[in-house]
Amino acid sequence: MVTVPATTGVMGILADHAPTIAQLKPGIVQIHTNDLNDITHKYFVSGGFAIVTNESSASITAVEAVKVDDLDLAGAKKGIEDAIAALNRTTDEKQRAEAQIQQEVYEAIVNALEGR
């Protein structure tokens, strides 16, 4: 089973899932193995798409995927502070949008790390 952070909510994908395309928001993709060890691999994605086809295959297309264990909580909290500071010091709409995106991504990283 795979769970993805879709913009409509967390979505679970199992074998024989209906064909779907879902936009991903920043969050955790979990891949659950079906072997005796029942291991769960966790990756943080900043966005992208999950695509399930008629052939019962699923693909995740993301700009980046990072193992959750490789993320830095202190760095993410600092990133939130920096994004908020950037947001507060500019009136340029492009810079404001970039700062808001950075803040959202860093907040999702913090939530992922604190919610392990």
pLDDT digits (tens, 9 = 90+) for 49-108: 999 988 767 899 998 899 999 999 999 999 999 999 999 999 999 999 999 999 999 999
Helix (H) or strand (E) run with residue 77 in it:
helix 73-89
Helix (H) or strand (E) run with residue 90 in it:
none
- 71-114 folds as 1.20.5
Instruction: Please give the DSSP secondary-structure letter assigned to residue 8.
Output: T
Backbone angles phi, psi at 84, to 5 degrees: -65, -40
Give the pLDDT score at 68: 93
* Right CATH for 2-69 from 2.60.15.10, 3.40.190.10, 3.40.50.880, 3.40.50.10330: 2.60.15.10
Give the pLDDT score at 37: 77
- Amino acid at position 73, single letter: L
This prediction's pTM: 0.82
